[in-house]
Amino acid sequence: MANSLFEEKLYSDKFLVTSEVGPPKGMDVADMVHHIDLLKDKVDAINITDHQSSVMRFPSLGGCLLVKERGGEPIFQVTCRDRNRLAIQADLLLACSRGIQNVLCLTGDSIDVGDHKEAKPVFDLDSVQLLRTIKTMESGKDLGGSDFKGSPKFCVGASVHPEADFIEPQLIKFEKKVAAGAQFFQTQGIFGLESLRRFMQYASQFEVKILAGIIVLSSARMAQYMNDNVPGIIVPQPIIDELSSAGKGKGLQKGMEIAARLVRTIKEENLCHGVHIMAVGNEGIVPDILEMAQIVGAAP
């Protein structure tokens, strides 16, 4: 039996669509709830980010609880940046006890890119070790070797970067994640289909599901900013030029068109098992992109 609704869909032939919601800075969750409500019936699962870009926010686990309350399917993003192995295991137990069983295991961005630059970076575990930690927990033990009274079950995912400018060590790490039990991968934002095709030629030898990460850009300036400041992201010049060609105030519309075009082609050409749409602050437009890409809402 599947550990979650998302896991059940993962092993169907369905083209999967996930998206993400970033928790707010502070207690006012009204916008987050609004975005969850907009997305919950249109996507197969909603990722809740974990202090993305190392900017301190309302917690991922809190956001996942809200997704559950609203009747959606959450993916709990867990980074290794802020918690040691005790705290991570405890949060995973709490998550599972509340029916949050999809987990995306990430190393986490560097503290230096965020808004608490003087904080202590933890990184007691890395992403591969985190995946193995979950497998250990599922076997009924904690990392100290003690037995659990009541073991958790999860559906575990990880991230991979098909457009990394030096791909070989990234692929080795991908294989370590597969060996550590990752069932699905949501890729870093990709912009070129050629790199996705190349990656899938390689990745299809592994029994894992790949969801292509699609970042919705809202202007040429944002694309340039991401190239300069966001870890790992490389927006190619033709995409920046296309965004520049949009009239004043039409950048987001153009960005949505680009995203929808990528999503549609990926689905039509069956390039991978699904997409993960990251609208970075514009979560409300994800349903429009799905419509533009002619994706029908997530069927239960």
Partner 1 sequence: MIVAQQKPLEEIRRLIAPYEKILILGCGTCVTVCGAGGEREVSFLHGALRVAQVKGGDGVHAFLEYTVKRQCDREFLDPLGDRVSEVDAILSLGCGVGVQVVAERFPDVPALPGVNTSFMGATEQGGVWDERCAACGDCRLAETAGICPITRCTKGILNGPCAGTKNGKCEANKDIDCAWVLIYKRLESLGQLDKIRRYYPPRNFRTIPRPRRLAGITSIDLGGSNG
* Pairwise CA distance, residues 237 & 90, whole Å: 44
Least Å distance, CB 178 to partner 1, is 12
Least Å distance, CB 128 to partner 1, is 4
Task: Report the residue number, 7 or 50, with the smaller CB distance to partner 1.
Answer: 50
Tokens, residue 207: 């029994």
Q: Does 134 bind partner 1 (CB under 8 A)?
A: no
* Pairwise CA distance, residues 7 & 66, whole Å: 20
Q: Binding to partner 1 (CB under 8 A): which residues in 227-256?
A: 231-232, 234
Q: Does 113 bind partner 1 (CB under 8 A)?
A: yes
Stretch that binds partner 1, among 57-65, 69-77, 111-119, 263-271 (CB under 8 A): 111-119
Amino acid of residue 101: Q
Among 99, 121, 140, 284, binds partner 1 (CB under 8 A): 121
Task: Report the residue number, 101 or 127, with the smaller CB distance to partner 1.
Answer: 127
Q: Does 110 bind partner 1 (CB under 8 A)?
A: yes
Q: Which residues pair with 209 in a beta bridge?
A: 184
Stretch that binds partner 1, among 22-30, 172-180, 204-212, 246-254 (CB under 8 A): 172-180
Cβ–Cβ < 8 Å for 14, 6: no
Tokens, residue 264: 């549609």
Pattern 140-159, binding to partner 1, x per CB under 8 A? ---x---------------x
Least Å distance, CB 279 to partner 1, is 20
Least Å distance, CB 144 to partner 1, is 11
Among 26, 145, 166, 237, binds partner 1 (CB under 8 A): 166
Cβ–Cβ < 8 Å for 68, 74: yes
Q: Which phi and psi angles does 135 have, rounded to 5°? A: -60, -40
Among 40, 42, 51, 132, binds partner 1 (CB under 8 A): 132
Least Å distance, CB 211 to partner 1, is 15
Q: Does 77 bind partner 1 (CB under 8 A)?
A: no
Cβ–Cβ < 8 Å for 61, 91: yes
Query: What is the size of the binding site for partner 1 (CB under 8 A)?
Result: 40
Pattern 174-193, binding to partner 1, x per CB under 8 A? -xx--xx-------x-----
Cβ–Cβ < 8 Å for 218, 246: no
* Pairwise CA distance, residues 16 & 45, whole Å: 9
Q: Does 125 bind partner 1 (CB under 8 A)?
A: yes
Task: Report the residue number, 2 or 122, with the smaller CB distance to partner 1.
Answer: 122
Binding interface with partner 1 (CB under 8 A): 80-81, 85, 107-113, 121, 123-129, 132-133, 143, 159-161, 164-166, 168-170, 172-173, 175-176, 179-180, 188, 231-232, 234
